[in-house]
Structure formats: structure tokens, C-alpha cells
Chain A
Amino acid sequence: DGGITQSPKYLFRKEGQNVTLSCEQNLNHDAMYWYRQDPGQGLRLIYYSQIVNDFQKGDIAEGYSVSREKKESFPLTVTSAQKNPTAFYLCASTHTGTGGHPPLHFGNGTRLTVT
């Protein structure tokens, strides 16, 4: 079955440590996205990538970094510079260049807790 896999589902880290969240898709989608969800808030865009080896900052990119070395993979690193890293992180993907507005497909998320 095609889909988006985020791992791990739960992640615990000590403050001051960098941590990398994995996102892999086998949907052959060009574009991939990272969102963050906090209680009482909508999903906020961290970074997105429309093509391999290229990515752009979203609305809340500070304290995060990404890479897109392969079409299937878009890992997100939460650095120690991120002031409030505890959140639910969602990865998404979609086709591009098809016209219209294809909906995003989401993974099941990673809940990161930093203490």
C-alpha cells in the first residue's frame, strides 16, 4: 500500500539535544511538507520541498532544518535552537505540476516531547 511513514511515533529528548524525525513516502509525490500541531492551534507549516535538493522555509522555520536528498525522504531536524520543540509533527506530500489543487496526504505523525 502506498503511503507516508513517519517514525518513530513517540520520541523523547532532553533539552539541548538535536533530534531528527523521519518521513518516507512511496506515493511518487514531488512535494513534501512538515507541519507542526499544538493544542488549540491549527497546523503550521515548518518547511516544504517541491523537488529533490530544494526546499523552502514555511511560517515557523526557526530552530528547524531539513534535507531532501531523495524524492522519497524528507527528514526534519529539530535543533536545540527551537524554543518550544514539544509538539505533534506531521509530514505530508502531494503531486505538483498536475494543475488544480491536489490535496495533501499526511503521515500519522510523530509526537516529540522535550524535557
Chain B
Amino acid sequence: DQQVKQNSPSLSVQEGRISILNCDYTNSMFDYFLWYKKYPAEGPTFLISISSIKDKNEDGRFTVFLNKSAKHLSLHIVPSQPGDSAVYFCAAHPLLTGGGNKLTFGTGTQLKVEL
């Protein structure tokens, strides 16, 4: 039962263009969402997050959009750079966990930014 879904396993974008990575979730109890970036043979690093009370959060070249009614969020990277090539994981945090910062992760999208 995949509660957080990233339906595109891979995405290829030209340098300088916009990258849009999508994420869908099924659990309406999720109230906080995060994006992590992962290079091969390394651990994921936190990129950006958004609370369910917002519909947009921006940090430099990265913007996350949340559509609660559609249970959908997206990560926009503008402009895309070769160093952005990595696997991007969407993660969700439920409102009530009973303790513990327990995240549910999507399967990841491999982004390749080409010159």
C-alpha cells in the first residue's frame, strides 16, 4: 500500500529549463510534506518542506506547491542545473504519530539535467 507515490521514475530536462517533479498521496492525515535529494551512494539531504496550511513554499530556485484537494504536490526547480541531477524523494508526515518523526517516503524520481 503505497501512500506516497511518485509515478515518474525518471525525468530529463535541459539545463536552464524548469524541472517539475510530482508526488501524490492517499492518506488525508498527512499534514507536512518534505522533499529530499539523493546522490548515488550517499544519504538523502533535506531540500524543502511545506505545511498543509500553505499552498506554496519557495527557497531560491526551489518551489514546492501543495494542492490538498487533489492530494498532490510538486517540486519546481528553476533554472535547472547539472548539479541538480539526483534522485528526489517526496516524503509525508502524519498529523498524529503517537510519537516519533515518522516519515513515509515515495519511490523517488531520478532527475537528469542535460547540458
Contact = CB atoms under 8 A, between A and B. Distances in A.
Contact of B102 (A4, A48, A103): A48
Nearest to A90: B43
Nearest to A101: B32
Interface string A2-38: 0010100100000000000000000000010101000
Interface in A67-115: 90, 92, 94, 96, 101-109, 111
Tier of interface size on chain A: 20 to 34
A43 B9 contact: no
Given A42-B89, A42-B105, A43-B105, A56 B100 contact: yes
Interface residues of B, number: 28
A106 B43 contact: yes
B89 A43 contact: yes
B43 A101 contact: no
A101 B99 contact: no
Nearest to B100: A48
